[in-house]
């Protein structure tokens, strides 16, 4: 079985910190977050738009020019071919990164030794996860993945896409406390753009200062 690839970004400077990288977008995701920015990748039964062999051929020609390869999605861990794909890319001399929602803790644990960096989406407080992902039990799996990631020593960033329609500001501040207690150091809060236009953050300057005090690497990021 080979990786089903829904798209390829040939060069990025923002998806793998400190590296010039390509991004491989993997087909399929079991969650249905309302703000998903790659909905065309959700269908797990869809055939890949790009053959994996073509991706490998492209990467072969970029050795010495690119530093790394990011596996994004969709949800890369939904595909059983991911470990083999990671091993192939590392054998070519590239560093590897993963963007994941953490929905498969056991699969994440299996590939952590093959990764140099992980971007883990933390959708919100665990109690509100099911409403965001529209999938029962999703919060427990994501937070288990977080614990595995933190214990692994692999470089990472946790990211939360937020506006007050998803959960309120007190919930956001509570999430920050949860993450800090868990040992998270690197956390980015991403603005969620809606069809009605970009919402206000709903954070006062004092609240932003509080978040920055909890996380030395905290970032406010305009985004989705």
Rounded CA separation 54/206 (Å): 50
Cα distance between residue 78 and residue 56, in whole Å: 20
**Tokens at residue 196, please?**
């009605």
| Cβ burial 192-211 (10 Å sphere, 16+ → b, else e) | bbeeeeeeebebeeebeebb
**Which residues fall within 8 angstroms of residue 106, CB to CB, at 6 or more apart?**
none
All domains in the chain, ordered by first residue: 1-100 (3.20.20.70), 122-224 (no CATH)
Burial of 174 (0-12, 13-18, 19+ CB in 10 A): middle
* DSSP string over 77-133: GG-TTHHHHHHHHHHTT-EEEEEE----HHHHHHHGGG-SEEEEE--S-GGGHHHHH
Record the tokens describing residue 21, joined without a space. 């990288």
Q: What is the pLDDT along the chain (224 residues), one digit of tens a residue?
A: 799 999 999 999 999 999 999 999 999 999 998 888 888 888 877 777 899 999 999 999 999 999 999 999 999 999 999 999 999 999 999 999 999 999 999 999 999 999 999 999 999 998 889 999 999 999 999 999 999 999 999 999 999 988 778 888 888 888 988 998 999 999 999 877 655 555 556 677 887 887 787 777 778 876 54
Alpha-carbon distance of 184 to 165, in angstroms, equals: 25
Q: What is the pTM of this model?
A: 0.92
CA nearest to 188, candidates 154, 222, 213: 222
**Structural contact between residues 111 and 90, judged by C-beta atoms closer than 8 angstroms:** no
Nearest to 217 by CA among 195, 182, 188, 180: 188
């Amino acid at each position: 079985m080979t990786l089903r690839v829904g798209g390829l970004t040939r060069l990025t400077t923002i998806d793998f910190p400190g590296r010039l990288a390509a991004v491989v977008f993997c087909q399929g995701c079991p969650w249905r977050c309302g703000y998903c920015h790659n909905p065309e990748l959700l269908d797990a039964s869809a055939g890949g738009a790009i053959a994996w062999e073509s991706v490998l051929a492209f990467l072969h020609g970029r050795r010495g020019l690119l530093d790394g390869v990011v596996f994004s999605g969709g949800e890369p861990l939904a595909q059983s071919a991911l470990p083999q794909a990671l091993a192939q890319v590392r054998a070519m001399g590239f560093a590897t990164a993963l963007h994941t929602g953490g929905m498969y803790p056991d699969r994440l644990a299996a590939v952590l030794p093959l990764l140099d960096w992980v971007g883990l989406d933390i959708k919100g407080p665990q109690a509100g996860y099911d409403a965001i992902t529209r999938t029962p039990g999703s919060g427990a799996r994501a937070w288990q993945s977080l614990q595995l990631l933190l214990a692994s020593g692999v470089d990472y960033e946790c990211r939360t896409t937020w506006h007050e329609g998803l959960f309120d500001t007190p919930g956001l501040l509570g999430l920050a406390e949860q993450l800090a207690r868990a040992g998270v150091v690197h956390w980015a809060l991403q603005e969620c753009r809606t069809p009605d236009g970009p919402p206000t953050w709903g954070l006062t300057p004092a609240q932003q200062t509080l978040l920055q005090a909890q996380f030395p690497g905290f970032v406010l990021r305009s985004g989705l």
